[in-house]
Amino acid sequence: MVRDWRTAGVKPPDAALLEYAEKLTRTPADMTAEDVQQLRDAGWDDTAIHDAVQIVSYFNYINRVADGLGVEMDEGSRVWG
């Protein structure tokens, strides 16, 4: 799952959320209301979508802070890089 969530056999609602998270991470300026609607169509409610956006955004933010400060990853975290 860490290397490629698409090959992990996740359920369709989870795949929709992971696709959304990836787009928000890689191309945040391309996000649209349609992306949110696709999550709703997959069964996610607005609270869950909001929570996901907060978590994904914070994770991206804190990684950029760490990168900007030159923080080195420890050995246990290398699989994520």
DSSP codes, 11-52: -HHHHHHHHHHHHHHH-GGG--HHHHHHHHHTT--HHHHHHH
- Asked, for residue 46, whether it belongs to a domain, the answer is yes
Inside any domain, residue 15: yes
Task: Tell me the angle at which helices 46-68 and 12-26 cross, rounded to the nearest 10 degrees.
Answer: 40
**Which CATH number do you get for residue 33?**
1.20.1290.10
Q: Which residues lie below 8 Å from residue 20, measured CB to CB, with a gap of 6+? A: 35, 38, 39, 52
- Range in 14-18, 48-52, 68-72 the model is least confident about: 68-72
Encode pLDDT of 30-67 as tens digits: 999 999 999 999 999 999 999 999 999 999 999 999 99
Please indicate, yes or no, if residue 48 is contained in any of the structural domains.
Answer: yes
- Helix axis angle, 33-41 to 46-68, nearest 10°: 130
pTM of the model: 0.84
How many domains does the chain contain in total?
1
